[in-house]
Amino acid sequence: MRRNDDLRELFERLSQHFRATDVARLSDVPRSAIPVIRELWPMLPLANRRRIVDEMVELSEANIDLDFRRVLLVALDDPDKEVRRRAIEGLWEADETGVLHRFLARLETETEPEVRAALAQALGRFAELDVEGRLPRPESERLRGALRALLHASEPVEVRRRALESIAVYGDSVALAAIEEAYWSGDPALRVSAIYAMGRSLDRRWLPLLLDELRSDDPERRYEAATACGELGAEEAIDELIGLTTDPDRDVQGAAIAALGRIGGTIATNVLRRLARSADPVVRDAAEDALGEAMFASDPLRPTPW
């Protein structure tokens, strides 16, 4: 167990010029150390706190054995909105109900739109767990209630769209009505999120709209529509998606190729095989990944032939 004097020495270093190796020492701190961290964290200069949170996120992405959750939960109460927002993003893989409780508690007092939007997005992870039956009923009810409240017109658009994307996974009447309302709202940002939410809802009622959006003049809408078609496994979209593999927008290209991999089947697989021999390394790599997914879906035990 890390002693309190060791922590104080570490925070002294963190208050000055520090290295990533110093931040790495914040991994796996014991629960008993949290009161000391809560005491010392606000004493760090603001620039250092922001950099430390960023370092924790980067280090955990590079090394899955590093766990900064307890420190990030302390940073969740930081007086600086940027530190709070980055701490939420750093907790994106957390699935403990204790983290959900902290997010919901933070939401009750949070006033900054950027942070509320980050919370709405982070709650999507727990909505997925809920759909899988992995949340106790009280947490499930609190989560659904919070997401529904975030859809209210009084919330900023950025908050509403992230809540929509999160709640869509339920695919229930509330989620479907919210998707439809956002799509026809006239707000471009809400429409983009509605298209994304269509895919997360796994409801094929949206397919006619998605097929239209694949031909949109807006590359962001084409991108989200391609992704949603992949989520729905929409074979009806294959011809349009094949066309988008040569889209002038690189992101749209990648989304179309990935969607073909999700949909699979003979036509999509043959197209992906051809693209996997492309002279364009970006297209080739994307096609190889998508082909691997298509082949795995058709036969999980079969090695992928290039």
Cα 27 off chain centre by:
23
pLDDT of residue 296: 79
Torsion of CA 171, 195, 61, 74, to 10 degrees: -70
Tokens of 233: 């496994």
Average pLDDT of the segment spanning 255-267: 97
Average pLDDT of the segment spanning 283-294: 96
pLDDT of residue 302: 53
Domain that holds residue 141: 95-202
DSSP, collapsed to helix, strand or coil, labels residue 231 as helix
CB 200 within 8 A of CB 167: no
65 pLDDT more than 60:
yes
Q: Which amino acid is at 273?
A: R
pLDDT of residue 1: 40
Which pLDDT tens digit goes with each residue over 66-104? 999 999 999 999 999 999 999 999 998 899 999 999 999
pLDDT of residue 3: 75
Average pLDDT of the segment spanning 134-152: 98
| 78 & 127 share domain | no
pLDDT of residue 303: 54
173 pLDDT more than 80:
yes
306 pLDDT more than 90:
no
**Residue that terminates a domain, selected from 154, 175, 202:** 202
Contacts of 70 (CB under 8 A, 6+ apart): 29, 31, 33, 34, 37
Contacts of 193 (CB under 8 A, 6+ apart): 161, 162, 164, 165, 182
| 73 & 101 share domain | no
Q: How many CA atoms lie within 13 A of 237 on its CB side?
A: 35
The secondary element (H helix, E strand) that includes residue 295 is helix 281-298
Average pLDDT of the segment spanning 196-203: 98
pLDDT of residue 4: 80
**Residue that terminates a domain, selected from 187, 202, 217:** 202
Specify the number of domains making up the chain. 2
Which pLDDT tens digit goes with each residue over 200-222? 999 999 999 999 999 999 999 99
pLDDT of residue 298: 61
Assess if residue 229 is contained within a domain. Answer: no
Q: What is the mean pLDDT of the chain?
A: 95
Average pLDDT of the segment spanning 152-170: 98
Tokens of 82: 């940027």
299 pLDDT more than 60:
no
Residue 168: CB atoms within 10 Å: 27
149 pLDDT more than 70:
yes
Assess if residue 247 is contained within a domain. Answer: no
Assess if residue 148 is contained within a domain. Answer: yes
| 83 & 108 share domain | no
Q: Taking the complete model, does pTM exceed 0.75, yes or no?
A: yes
Which pLDDT tens digit goes with each residue over 5-45? 899 999 999 999 999 999 999 999 999 999 999 999 999 99
Average pLDDT of the segment spanning 142-152: 98
C-alpha to C-alpha distance for 243 and 238, rounded to whole angstroms = 9
